Amino acid sequence: MPSRLPDLKKQLQDKVVPEQINVGKELALDVYARNGILLLSKGHYVLTGLQREKLLEMGYTADGQRIEPPALEQAERPENPHENVLHEMAFLQQRTRTLLKYSLQLPDFSQRVARLSNDVIDLAESHPDGVIASLLLVPFKEYGPAHALHTAALLALLTRRMPLSEEQRHSVLGAALTMNMSISDLQNQLHHQQEALSPEQEQQIESHPLVSSAILREAGVEDELWHWLVQTHHESWLGNGYPYGLARQEIQSLSHILHIADITCAKLTPRSYRPGLLPATALGHLFKRKDIEFDPAITTLLIKELGIYPPGSFVKLASNEIGVVLARRPKASEPQVAALRKLDGPAYIDALIRETSNPAHKVLAPCPATMAGVRASHLARLWRGQHGHA
């Protein structure tokens, strides 16, 4: 790790004390070695008891450091927001980031997560097609918060069809939003990283279900189902999941649903160095593994909910046009589509609505976003005020 300026050594007068370092908790101050090398910076999490012991053994604080939380970022909705579901999902993404970043500095953390879950549920109920489109089209700066919100949104859609209590539904959405909170920064890093994981990164990933649960306890979360879902969202029907290595019959159904939603959103989301999978390809991967790795009932529900041509995905039409799917229709092969351009021509000034039940505008095949000829962020207006297919 890089050394600080030499004169910092003169300021390192105080040893850290046990009250300043807690496992699963964000550091409120920088911790240095006696020679001035920074051991762990303010805002990072202490992941293990061994790490805490080493920091207590070797750590010093800089003279005059003040232990105070950073100012909370504000993500306030405008007084009269345009009724546009993609813009609303971008706003919810900001709120998710704030919750993950400042979980241990918010006295009402549980209530804030519950309010965010409610807003995601309300949006899924009123604008289901737009919510699905947002998973594919809303841009993001940080993968960690975006993936958390995507998973919660997909679960809000799926759980509309399940006989769950309101409490269970909120527990599973709360778990989706917070399951990776201990590695949110690492997720942002890995979004751009093509090389293999380092041993330290592997350790962080393997421990993150338990560390995230520990952070939730520090933040005041008492819901035991929420904790269990966070702890077990990487358990697999194959028996090779972590951290417990549970057998298939030991995995709760809600943990398995969260696991499938987590995998689905990861497959659909592009990395900085590769595009996301086409929805049909991603869902096909899951369908091939049903009965073996994934519950066939949940897999079928997922495919039925998203459709073979999900809103926000791109398709080729019989009219030699490229279009974006706006909404599902009762017949899955005939979604509503907005044509964006001819295959061999420039983008239209205005998108043209096509009813694909008309043979002249029949959907021929899905296609990648790169064929659309327009930036995905420019398509948000197509879902303005649209309530979609229930």
What range defines the domain where residue 193 resides? 85-306
Asked whether 29 and 42 are in contact (CB, 8 A), the reply is: yes
Q: Tell me what pLDDT residue 69 has.
A: 40
**Pair 302, 318 in one domain:** no
CATH number at residue 236: 1.10.3210.10
Whether residues 283 and 353 fall in one domain: no
DSSP letters, 250-300, are: GS-HHHHHHHHHHHHHHHHSPBTTBPPPPHHHHHHHHHHTBTTTB-HHHHH
319 and 302 share one domain: no
Provide the pLDDT confidence category of residue 63 given band limits of 50, 70 and 90: low
Calculate mean pLDDT across residues 51-57: 78
Q: Which pLDDT belongs to residue 61? A: 79
**Other CB atoms within 10 A of residue 62 CB:** 18
Last residue of a domain, one of 287, 306, 325: 306
Residue 72 inside a domain? The answer is: no
Mean pLDDT over 317-343 rounds to 96
**What are the structure tokens assigned to 319, written together?**
């009219």
Number of domains in the chain: 3
Q: What is the pLDDT of residues 262-317, one digit of tens each?
A: 999 999 998 877 778 899 899 999 999 998 999 999 999 999 999 999 999 999 99
pLDDT at 52 (0 to 100): 78
**Contact criterion met (CB below 8 Å) for 10 and 44:** no
Q: Considering the domain boundaries, does residue 236 fall inside one?
A: yes
Q: Say if residues 54 and 42 touch (Cβ distance below 8 Å).
A: no
- Domain end point (choices 260, 279, 306): 306
- Both 157 and 215 in a single domain? yes
Residue 67 lies in a domain: no
- Predicted local confidence at residue 64, as pLDDT: 45
Q: Is residue 79, in this structure, part of any structural domain at all?
A: no
The last residue of a domain, from among 248, 278, 306 = 306
| 339 in any annotated domain | yes
Q: Is residue 214 one of the residues assigned to a domain?
A: yes
Task: Tell me the per-residue pLDDT of 238-257, one tens digit each, with 9 for 90 and over.
Answer: 999 999 999 999 999 999 99
- The answer to whether residues 37 and 155 belong to one domain is no
Confidence class of residue 13 from pLDDT cuts 50, 70 and 90? low
Contact 239, 246 (CB under 8 A): yes
Q: Are residues 11 and 156 in the same domain?
A: no
With respect to residue 354, please indicate whether it lies within any of the assigned structural domains: yes
- Identify the residue with better confidence: 196 or 77: 196
